[in-house]
Chains A and B, each alone.
Chain A
Amino acid sequence: MADSSARAVPSSPPTALPVVGKSETKPTWCPGCGDFGVVAAIEMALKRLAIPSHDVVLVSGIGCSSNLPHFLSSYGFHGVHGRVLPVAEGIRWGNHGLTVIGTGGDGDGFGIGVGHFVHTMRRNVDLTYVTMDNQIYGLTTGQASPTSTMGHLTKSTPTGVIETPIDPVALALASGATYVARGFSGDVKHLVDLIANGIRHKGFAFDDVFSPCVTYNKINTFDFFRQRVYKLESSGHDPSDIVQAWQRSLEWGEKIPIGLFYRTERPTYEELEEVLHAGPLALQPTGLRDPGPVLDEFV
């Protein structure tokens, strides 16, 4: 997160302005959907950090979880399928005083949008990306997703998935993400910590969240995860050690780790982009202010 002096509109002190809360739009997710826990956790994380709602932009693509920006009181951009990250990057580079949070699902982020996912991480753009990973396509009524496990029977794979699922945590580690965490929407308190720390983290923060689909995924249910997840924070894991992070990311079976896998410090894209040193781009002067020398180059 940028320091407050770089905020877009340094109007009144943050606490005097409303922080992010619920909007007037009620979530349209199925009763019991994992995404309720995630929207609650994002709201609580932003409240904890006391960031005024007008300085927050929630960006999403398409899918059940991508409706999330509508349910909170910040600014939002609800774009097309798979493109949450390039829009979020553009917003950061346009005004790096803003707190930008990308939200979406596993199809959006690891299927159609996986190219952007990898590139955004190697750039270490200072934004937070929360994926609601339910290992299924929900809004299109139950096809296999990039994180569906082998053998999963879905409408598009009636004889079972025959592809190895993407491991978002391992992919993030390989792509140079500087904050890699996994949460579970059945443990909102833990998730709030992960998201708040991710927002506070200087650089790209990735929170992959197990967010069960109660309608179309009968395998990876709340119970499935409740029986398996354990917290890295209480198991002697050192999140500064990438080798340990790799080892933990490979665990999938009777025990599945959640929590912070890895965190490191690296300059952000915004810090390395010299033009942004003069302040948020949206507030910088525009136009050809001194055309003479530029035109001389054409002589």
Chain B
Amino acid sequence: MEEISVRVGGQAGDGIASIGEAVARGFSRSGLHVFALNAYQSVIRGGHVWFQARASGSRLYSQGDAADVLYALDKATVEIHSAQLRPGAVVIHDPEKFAVDASQLPPQVTLLPVPTLEIARKYTSQSILQNAGGLGAVAYVAGLPLDLLHQVLADSFGKKKGEVVDWNLGASTDGYKFAEQHASVSARALGRRGSPKLLMTGNQAIALGAVAGGCKFLAQYPMTPASTIMHWLAAHARSLGVVVKQAEDELAAIHMAIGASFAGVRSMTATSGGGFSLMVEALGMAGMTETPLVVVESQRSGPSTGLPTKTEQGDLNLMLGAGQGEFPRAILAPSHPIEAYSATVDAFRLAEEWQTPILLASDFHLSENFATVDREEVSVPSAPPSLFTVTPNGGDYLRYQITESGVSPRALPGQPGLQFIAGSDEHDERGHLISDVRAGIPVWISERQRMMDKRMHKLDGLARSVPPPVLEGAADAPITFVTWGSTIGAVRDAIAELAERGRPANLLRFPAVYPLEPAKVRSLLEGAKRPVLVEANYSGQFGRLLRAETGFEITDRLLKYDGEPFSPHEIVARAMEGPSHGGQ
């Protein structure tokens, strides 16, 4: 595949993500597709962080496997990343900071020493300006025009004007010119390809989709990798009319969201596995009181605190089983920011339609990494109407009326004559408790069963309402990767690479992992010549769900739980090597 990848590495606090984002934005403004990976650790200063901006003329779904430009702000970066440099790659560093032994680099990889500190000193004593000089050199080698780089840099300072902006523009020009004299543009550089694209993270897409879907209230407690949903919505709260509340804990966050929803506001909370564990009881309360709710669960490596800045798909069992007893829920699992956007719109529609919690499963890899989206792809639904526009008939109003679908007419506080109590205890159609003096009395034993049936009937409707599984690629491919969530990205890129090698493969993906329509899923699985389960957890949690729902067991499994996202080459390798059963 024609592509170019730029990697920047150094210590936390060095400004790695800012450099990387500028390169990524340079590519996306060139009309290229981008996938940008932001790899960091759970420290604020020190350690090793890196950012990779990968660009191509066609859509990218993963971080890829290798880099063509490496800008190293410290020596460790060279040591850690040089093995992943492609022939023709260039390593940029400042010899004043550290020396690099060119003989230790892979064959056909060259060094470009750039005096970034010296460039910075021309303008200021603040050494952080070295990054602008380095960025200039990177931009030259990566084939980004200087005027475009200047635009990106100037925009990154927002409305700020003055000497800092001028210094950055000056230093980046110096770095660019230096590279022009001492190196050549990468043979893999792609130039401009049409109109600028939008560059967004999965979390930004979720936040945007929430607003488009009618969300007016977010309550959240900070937790990586979900926090940036709150950051984006907080920054846009006033302009978009959303109340954003940082709660005292996740217990408060989900209960606030349920309270606001009960009052007639489309509401959301977002967290990672640890916070979601605290929300479990409330999730069941939303199910029992039939209060619409959207919960984003952005997974990270567990168990317990695990690896806070690393990815995993290890919370599927938790999401499926969260809450005592049984109540209806759905779990949507987008894989790319554009899917995250539309899945969030869908989540709000489904929560409202079925009056029950809808989970949006993300993970570090989707939430925190960037990908490009075409403006035309962002389909903005018409503004969801105020819930006050629907008033159930008065008279003998039954909030929890038993209906065929399981969905009952919903009144909101403030509507006259329709008062009811939403109860977390078992209740009758009117909302009156059957948990105390009626419990165990024959007529109420059967009423309890009817209320359970009513709520659980929603699952049948939900199974038909959620987006169905999709078989991507040639139906008769000799190998079918079965996967969900962010792992779909690496699989798609692997399938593209396999096609180039004359090894066709296809993809069976599940935009909604629950509820499933077992007969349909089973026939899809039975249609696969060689199904291979690919997911980022130890035990193959989705494979287990598929087996439980359909009786079909996928024995050929590719599982990963080292904290890193799948790389396309790992999937390609599995396709090339033939079936493997039971192991990793």
Would you give the shortest CB distance from B291 to chain A, in whole angstroms? Answer: 9
Does B404 sit at the interface, judged by CB under 8 A?
Answer: no
Docked Cα-Cα span, A92 to B413, in Å, equals 11
| B265/A28 in contact, CB under 8 A | no
| A9/B388 in contact, CB under 8 A | yes
Q: Which of B72-80, B250-258, B513-521, B531-539 lies on the face that meets chain A? A: B250-258
On whether A75 and B216 interact (CB within 8 A), knowing A87-B258, A299-B29, the answer reads no
On whether A291 and B378 interact (CB within 8 A), knowing A83-B255, A87-B255, the answer reads yes
B252 to chain A: which residues have CB within 8 Å?
83, 85-86, 89, 115-116, 119
- Pick the residue among B267, B383, B385, B420 that contacts A90 (CB under 8 A): B267
| A294/B216 in contact, CB under 8 A | no
| A78/B421 in contact, CB under 8 A | yes
Would you give the shortest CB distance from B430 to chain A, in whole angstroms? Answer: 9
| A286/B266 in contact, CB under 8 A | yes
Would you give the shortest CB distance from A50 to chain B, in whole angstroms? Answer: 15
B388 to chain A: which residues have CB within 8 Å?
8-9, 282-283
| CB neighbors of B among A1-43 (8 A) | 7-9, 11-12, 17, 25, 28
B362 to chain A: which residues have CB within 8 Å?
none
- Pick the residue among A25, A287, A298 that contacts B382 (CB under 8 A): A287
| A299/B198 in contact, CB under 8 A | yes
Would you give the shortest CB distance from B194 to chain A, in whole angstroms? Answer: 13
| A77/B281 in contact, CB under 8 A | no
A254 to chain B: which residues have CB within 8 Å?
none
Residue of A nearest to B245 (CB): A93
Does B44 sit at the interface, judged by CB under 8 A?
Answer: no
- Pick the residue among A25, A62, A90, A298 that contacts B217 (CB under 8 A): A90
| A273/B243 in contact, CB under 8 A | yes
On whether A9 and B262 interact (CB within 8 A), knowing A116-B252, A286-B384, the answer reads no
Docked Cα-Cα span, A73 to B431, in Å, equals 12
For B215-241 the 0/1 string (1 means CB < 8 A from A) is 111010000000000000000111111
Docked Cα-Cα span, A5 to B233, in Å, equals 29
Does B582 sit at the interface, judged by CB under 8 A?
Answer: no
On whether A86 and B259 interact (CB within 8 A), knowing A11-B416, A54-B415, A273-B243, the answer reads yes
Docked Cα-Cα span, A78 to B282, in Å, equals 12
| B256/A90 in contact, CB under 8 A | yes
| A94/B199 in contact, CB under 8 A | no
Does B260 sit at the interface, judged by CB under 8 A?
Answer: yes
Docked Cα-Cα span, A28 to B253, in Å, equals 32
| B259/A8 in contact, CB under 8 A | no
B214 to chain A: which residues have CB within 8 Å?
286-287
| A28/B437 in contact, CB under 8 A | yes
- Pick the residue among A59, A69, A98, A286 that contacts B386 (CB under 8 A): A286
Docked Cα-Cα span, A275 to B217, in Å, equals 10
For A76-106 the 0/1 string (1 means CB < 8 A from B) is 1111100101111111111101100000000
Would you give the shortest CB distance from A101 to chain B, in whole angstroms? Answer: 12
B238 to chain A: which residues have CB within 8 Å?
274-275
Does B196 sit at the interface, judged by CB under 8 A?
Answer: yes
Among A25, A283, A286, A295, find the residue whose CB has the most chain B CB atoms closer than 10 A: A286
| A89/B259 in contact, CB under 8 A | yes
Please classify how large the interface on chain B is, using the bins under 10, 10 to 19, 20 to 34, 35 or more: 35 or more
Would you give the shortest CB distance from B394 to chain A, in whole angstroms? Answer: 11
Docked Cα-Cα span, A134 to B526, in Å, equals 63
Does A276 sit at the interface, judged by CB under 8 A?
Answer: yes
Docked Cα-Cα span, A90 to B285, in Å, equals 15
Does A149 sit at the interface, judged by CB under 8 A?
Answer: no
| B256/A87 in contact, CB under 8 A | yes
B215 to chain A: which residues have CB within 8 Å?
286
| A9/B415 in contact, CB under 8 A | yes
Does A57 sit at the interface, judged by CB under 8 A?
Answer: yes
Does B554 sit at the interface, judged by CB under 8 A?
Answer: no
| B263/A294 in contact, CB under 8 A | no
A119 to chain B: which residues have CB within 8 Å?
248, 252
Docked Cα-Cα span, A295 to B230, in Å, equals 18
| A55/B414 in contact, CB under 8 A | yes
B421 to chain A: which residues have CB within 8 Å?
69-70, 75-78
- Pick the residue among A9, A80, A88 that contacts B414 (CB under 8 A): A9
B197 to chain A: which residues have CB within 8 Å?
299
Please classify how large the interface on chain A is, using the bins under 10, 10 to 19, 20 to 34, 35 or more: 35 or more
Would you give the shortest CB distance from A181 to chain B, in whole angstroms? Answer: 24
Docked Cα-Cα span, A28 to B436, in Å, equals 8
Docked Cα-Cα span, A23 to B197, in Å, equals 59
- Pick the residue among A67, A85, A87, A278 that contacts B433 (CB under 8 A): A67
Does B249 sit at the interface, judged by CB under 8 A?
Answer: yes
| B422/A299 in contact, CB under 8 A | no
| B413/A281 in contact, CB under 8 A | no
Docked Cα-Cα span, A9 to B419, in Å, equals 14
- Pick the residue among B259, B263, B422 that contacts A76 (CB under 8 A): B422
Q: Which of B162-170, B204-212, B448-456 lies on the face that meets chain A? A: B204-212
Does A53 sit at the interface, judged by CB under 8 A?
Answer: yes
Would you give the shortest CB distance from B90 to chain A, in whole angstroms? Answer: 28
| B241/A94 in contact, CB under 8 A | no
For B412-451 the 0/1 string (1 means CB < 8 A from A) is 1111111111111100000011001100000000000000
Docked Cα-Cα span, A277 to B411, in Å, equals 25
| B289/A77 in contact, CB under 8 A | yes
Does A285 sit at the interface, judged by CB under 8 A?
Answer: yes
A295 to chain B: which residues have CB within 8 Å?
198, 375, 378
Residue of B nearest to A275 (CB): B243
B239 to chain A: which residues have CB within 8 Å?
294
B380 to chain A: which residues have CB within 8 Å?
287-288, 291
Would you give the shortest CB distance from B144 to chain A, in whole angstroms? Answer: 15
Residue of B nearest to A58 (CB): B421
| CB neighbors of A among B342-364 (8 A) | none
B420 to chain A: which residues have CB within 8 Å?
75-76
Would you give the shortest CB distance from B322 to chain A, in whole angstroms? Answer: 14
On whether A87 and B262 interact (CB within 8 A), knowing A76-B421, A94-B267, A115-B249, the answer reads yes
Docked Cα-Cα span, A282 to B389, in Å, equals 11
On whether A95 and B386 interact (CB within 8 A), knowing A54-B419, A79-B285, A89-B256, the answer reads no
Does A284 sit at the interface, judged by CB under 8 A?
Answer: yes
- Pick the residue among A87, A89, A284, A294 that contacts B208 (CB under 8 A): A294
Give the top 5 A-B pairs by smallest Cβ distance, nearest first: A90-B259, A8-B414, A94-B263, A287-B383, A86-B255
Given contacts A77-B262, A93-B263, 5 further A-B contacts (CB under 8 A): A9-B388, A91-B259, A93-B245, A278-B241, A285-B383
Binding site for B on A (CB under 8 A): 7-9, 11-12, 17, 25, 28, 52-55, 57, 59, 62, 67, 69-70, 73-80, 83, 85-95, 97-98, 115-116, 119, 273-276, 278, 281-289, 291, 294-295, 298-299
A-B contact pairs, 24 of them (CB 8 A): A12-B416, A25-B433, A54-B419, A75-B420, A79-B285, A80-B424, A87-B262, A90-B267, A91-B259, A95-B413, A116-B252, A275-B242, A278-B241, A281-B216, A282-B216, A282-B387, A282-B388, A287-B381, A294-B239, A295-B378, A298-B198, A298-B373, A299-B196, A299-B197
Binding site for A on B (CB under 8 A): 28-29, 196-200, 204, 208, 211-217, 219, 236-243, 245, 247-249, 251-253, 255-267, 281-282, 285, 289, 373, 375, 378, 380-388, 412-425, 432-433, 436-437
